[in-house]
Amino acid sequence: MTSIGASPDTIQRVVETIESVSFSGGQSKELKSIEGAIVRDADRLDAIGAIGIARTFAYGGAKGRKLYDKAESARLSMTEEEYRTKSTASVTHFYEKLLLLKDLMVTGEGKRLAEERHALMVEFLAQLDREVGLR
């Protein structure tokens, strides 16, 4: 950014915004700006709803993960390392992360959009359960 003439203040704000995004096993870094809140919400919105469902199963398939595992329990408390290193079934990922994101939204618009996308995921999981008897 320096090579294109960005000021040190601008560079610092961009770095702080980027650092505010990561889910990190459920741990969130402190937001220092409205830009950070907007980018964090946008990142989380991209992970839920129809696109989130598609991404979850596409990623799981690419990594050779099971679609679901009746014996597997969601880990609701974990370190960042545990979150990033343990391979779980794709459906388990919904319970470990995706279904938690709605309540982590910061902006009003993020909260509004998350409600609709969350409801879609809940209905999808209920239908999946009816079809395969997961839970």
Q: What is the CATH number of the domain that holds 117?
A: 1.20.58.1910
Domain span including residue 48: 2-132
**Residue 94 to residue 122: CA distance in whole angstroms:** 9
* Rounded mean pLDDT, 82-100: 87
Query: Is the per-residue pLDDT at 35 higher than 50?
Result: yes
| The pLDDT of residue 133 | 78
**Residue 57 to residue 128: CA distance in whole angstroms:** 13
| The pLDDT of residue 1 | 85
130-134 contacts, C-beta under 8 A, 24 or more apart: 132/68, 134/68, 134/70, 134/91
Quick one: pLDDT band at residue 56, thresholds 50, 70, 90? very high
- Mean pLDDT across the chain, nearest whole number? 87
- Provide the whole-model pTM: 0.80
* Rounded mean pLDDT, 31-52: 90
Question: Tens digits of per-residue pLDDT, 72-84?
Answer: 888 877 777 777 7
Are 77 and 98 within 8 A, CB to CB? no
Number of domains within the chain? 1
